[in-house]
Amino acid sequence: MKRKTKNKIILILSLLLIVVVVVVLLLNDNSTIEQNYHIEDTETITKVIIDDKDGNHLEILKVEDSIWKINNSPANIKVVDMLLSTLKSMRIREPIAQAARNNIVKQLAASGKTVKIYQNKHSLNLGFIKLFKKEKLTKTIYIGSETQDNMGTYMMLKGEESPCIMYIPRLKGYLSTRFSALEDFWKSHAVFKYKRDEIASLKVEIPNQKNESFQLTKNGDGFDFTLLETGEKLQAFDTLKVKALLSSCFELNYESVAKNISQLEQDTIFGKAPAFILTLKDEKGKENILKTYSKLYDPTSIAENDDDFYKIFDVNRCYAIHSENKDTLIMQFFVLDNMLNPASYYFISK
């Protein structure tokens, strides 16, 4: 009798467990949205193309692991990593209500960005057998504006009938700015980026003070210090200050690209010799050249302040021309200061 009772209890518990499992599965099936926008295997992404309605076109190309190019210029890997993380983490928060669908579709068509994602995919993929790897366009996503609560972004996947609101779980904010088609947003701002053992020589020229120009040339574990005007090699110099100078070459970044340079500056500033010319040569013999120029504080009021240096020239920033960049750059003296010292700064007082 006891055995029969025990079996009944086991049977009832088993049936209850089956019912619970079925209910859970049914509830999940009814409430789950198909998450088909994100890309789980972002390591297979080879290229992303972004176009906006202002005619900006951006191609983010994977050259090799952790090395990307933006329209054939070095990319800022941190910004590219943010894009890849976004593509992997973003999820559908909710579909667009039918009543709002047409308005959102019109908005995407009028002002949205088009993002095309290419991946390396195998034509034959049997799990343990993968053959014929080829780059393919796997997703085209239309990116719209942020939602009214600023916590989501309107997007529509090509081939779908209706847009969705996309978000990243636990992230406060919207995603549209992560898909900028503006080149400068993605480009690396590095002017110099070297390891110490990659530097073969560094030349610091001061055209208006040729006697203060010098060159550091690698010699074993150290560097020779040569005055350019006379060719004299200093037997003693401040090695700590030289180390500080070389450390600036490990990662030196510009602040921004100069826009709308005034005609006055083009005639008066860039018509003269640079303030400094920095030439870095690496172990492979490749030269990297940076020329700095003064920057006017306010070109429109220079006539009013022609006797006040601090009102004429920007004491915080300067212009720069870089051999690896087609744009005129703006750099902060804060990051440049270690590199703009004359030869006499390194002399040891007797």
Least confident of 5-14, 47-56, 104-113, 199-208: 5-14
pLDDT attached to residue 130:
65
**CB–CB of 57/181 below 8 Å?**
yes
pLDDT digits (tens, 9 = 90+) for 223-255: 999 999 999 999 999 999 999 999 999 999 999
pLDDT at 349 over 60: yes
Taking all residues of the chain, what is their mean pLDDT, rounded to a whole number? 88
pLDDT band at 39 (very low <50, low <70, confident <90, very high): very high
pLDDT at 108 over 50: yes
pLDDT attached to residue 65:
85
- Give the count of beta carbons closer than 10 Å to the beta carbon of residue 180: 18
pLDDT at 22 over 60: no
pLDDT attached to residue 19:
57
Least confident of 38-42, 43-47, 65-69, 274-278: 65-69
The three-class DSSP label of residue 303 is helix
**Which residue type occupies 9?**
I
Element (H, E) at 101: helix 98-111
pLDDT at 113 over 80: yes
pLDDT band at 124 (very low <50, low <70, confident <90, very high): low
**C-alpha–C-alpha distance, residues 192 and 338, integer Å:** 13
pLDDT attached to residue 179:
96
pLDDT attached to residue 271:
87
Cα angle value 220/241/222 (rounded, 5°): 5
pLDDT above 70 as % of the chain: 85
**CB–CB of 81/188 below 8 Å?**
no
User: In sequence order, which residues have a C-beta less than 8 Å from that of residue 192 and are 6 or more positions away?
Assistant: 248, 249, 250, 251, 252, 280, 288, 290
pLDDT digits (tens, 9 = 90+) for 45-87: 999 999 999 999 999 999 988 889 999 888 999 999 999 999 9
**For the chain, domain boundaries:** 42-186, 190-346
**C-alpha–C-alpha distance, residues 338 and 243, integer Å:** 10
**C-alpha–C-alpha distance, residues 242 and 225, integer Å:** 9
pLDDT at 344 over 60: yes
pLDDT digits (tens, 9 = 90+) for 149-181: 999 999 999 998 899 999 999 998 999 999 999
pTM value is: 0.68
Tokens of 209: 């003070």
pLDDT attached to residue 20:
55
Least confident of 47-51, 148-152, 278-282, 346-350: 346-350
Nearest to 131 by CA among 139, 120, 141: 120
